[in-house]
Amino acid sequence: MGHLIYPTTNLNAIEQLVITHGEGVYVYDNQGRKYLEGLSGLWCSALGHGNRELAEAAATQMRAMAFQPLFGGKTHPVAMALAERLAAMLPVKDAYLFFGTSGSDANDTHWKLLRYYYNAIGKPEKRKIIARKGAYHGITVASGALTGLPSSHTYFDLPFEALGVVRAEGAHYYRQGRAGESENEFGLRCARELEQLILRENPQTIAAFIGEPVTGAGGVVVPPSTYWPAIQEVLRKHDILLIDDEVITGFGRTGNDFAARTFGIRPDMMTLAKAVTSGYIPLSVAAIRGEMYERLVAPSAKVGVFGHGFTYTGHPVSCAVALKTLEIYERDRVFQHAAQVGTYLQQRLRKFESHALVGELRGVGLIAALEIVADKGSRQSFPTADVVQYLQKRAQEHGLLVRALGSTSIGICPPLIITERQIDELVDSLGAALDETLSYAERQGLLAPVGKTATG
């Protein structure tokens, strides 16, 4: 056993699988076994493995100029080119971009930009950020506080009160919808409840609302079509900015370039990472409206510096790989392909809706989840993560890497370059794993009768 501290891992169950290399949508372990990347690594390997052009872009940039900071008025052409290219793509008005290396640091950056901005425009009381239960926005102290998952908080004493996180409900119709309430009515109710929360907190004190268009790590929760328009109306009414966290959904994942377009979101600020480089090298983006950026300039002159920046902000190798990634997305019509095979994936997954373990199939484009239940009728979950973890392991035995999301769902998010034939393979492996997991749950006496006793 080595000296690595493993991230987001049960530290009693480390080193379960050693992956050594990959090609296209497949990776291989140290025994030579092949796996289909059903979660694109961690929702990021959009172009799959072994892309020679991306490797070449990194090598060429390393040979030309391995590192150059952007501090103190210096710049370099690759960071400038990437900012121009992204600004032209993003659904953020006259976007200005700050580069980092992780989705977490980009959300921390947003936090600090909000403080800076509101101090600059003379509204220092606007400090709180509304984040939703079940959300994932990162794992640093600040972004981890925005995350609404207990496992990210317990033992870490997060969220620190001083950060001023206000927790709103998620948009999980299957779990939160009321009897007789349609999905669209539920979406509107979420917005009404958000407004009540804002009024209770005092709108004058709220800087922003942060949300993933589709909640990723929290279970791939796709909101009803009424949700985002109604939420935005409430936010606009109370002068609250919207941070659209597209770390997972950005770059073709939901059938459009950004999920903002899929759901009619008009963000003030956007968070991007992962697929911006197809996961080949770390890079994150915090994007804000140009009009917000302009308000940062005078205070920075007063202080003498805009006092925020990382050593690796605008790292030339990351920027070069991102530029090549965006070029490939456009040249090879990758988002159009993803939209097409995304429709196919959703259609193929529908066959699991009748499976005894599947309470709900959720998804859009090339992202989906199956909600795993002990009893379909009462929607009762299994009491622990044991069953979804078993399902994840069985899928692995069948050559498919998917991820247990908490104790209730299994997440699916293959590379954007996946083909229909490979989707068939994914569905076959998942089907076999589901059947074996059902037998396991039966053998262990974990299904409905025991559950019903438990709810009593």
Ligand X SMILES: Cc1ncc(COP(=O)(O)O)c(C=O)c1O
Does position 109 interact with ligand X (CB under 6 A)? The reply is no
Q: Which of 25, 83, 86, 217 binds ligand X (CB under 6 A)?
A: 217
Least distance (Å) from ligand X to the CB of residue 156? 15
Does position 247 interact with ligand X (CB under 6 A)? The reply is yes
Quote the CA–CA distance of 35 and 400 in Å, as a whole number.
Answer: 5
283: closest CA among 90, 106, 86, 87? 106
Least distance (Å) from ligand X to the CB of residue 456? 36
Q: Which of 37, 245, 375, 425 binds ligand X (CB under 6 A)?
A: 245
364: closest CA among 248, 273, 275, 271? 248
Which of these segments, 112-120, 135-143, 309-317, 431-439, binds ligand X (CB under 6 A)?
135-143
Q: Could you say which residues in the range 77-106 bind ligand X, by CB under 6 A?
A: 102-104
Which of these segments, 162-170, 210-218, 258-266, 404-412, binds ligand X (CB under 6 A)?
210-218
Residue whose C-beta lies closest to ligand X: 103
276: tokens are 């911006």
Quote the CA–CA distance of 123 and 456 in Å, as a whole number.
Answer: 52
325: closest CA among 415, 257, 251, 245? 251
Nearer to ligand X (CB atom), residue 136 or residue 352: 136
Q: Is 202 helix (H, G, I), strand (E, B) or coil?
A: coil
Q: Which of 37, 108, 195, 212 binds ligand X (CB under 6 A)?
A: 212
Signed CA dihedral, 286, 287, 292, 297: sign only: positive
Q: Could you say which residues in the range 138-157 bind ligand X, by CB under 6 A?
A: 138
Q: Which of 148, 216, 250, 365 binds ligand X (CB under 6 A)?
A: 216
Buried b / exposed e across 412-447, counting CB within 10 Å, b at 16+?
A: bbbbbbbeeebbebbbebbbbbbebbbebbeeeebb
Buried b / exposed e across 349-380, counting CB within 10 Å, b at 16+?
A: beebeebbbbbbbbbbbbbbbbbbbbbbeeeb
Nearer to ligand X (CB atom), residue 380 or residue 392: 392
Signed CA dihedral, 143, 149, 151, 157: sign only: positive
Q: Which of 273, 334, 364, 405 binds ligand X (CB under 6 A)?
A: 273
Does position 411 interact with ligand X (CB under 6 A)? The reply is no
Does position 137 interact with ligand X (CB under 6 A)? The reply is yes
Least distance (Å) from ligand X to the CB of residue 279? 10
Does position 208 interact with ligand X (CB under 6 A)? The reply is no
- End-to-end alpha carbon distance in the chain: 44
Q: Given the rule CB under 6 A, which residues bind ligand X?
A: 102-104, 107, 136-138, 212, 216-217, 245, 247-248, 273
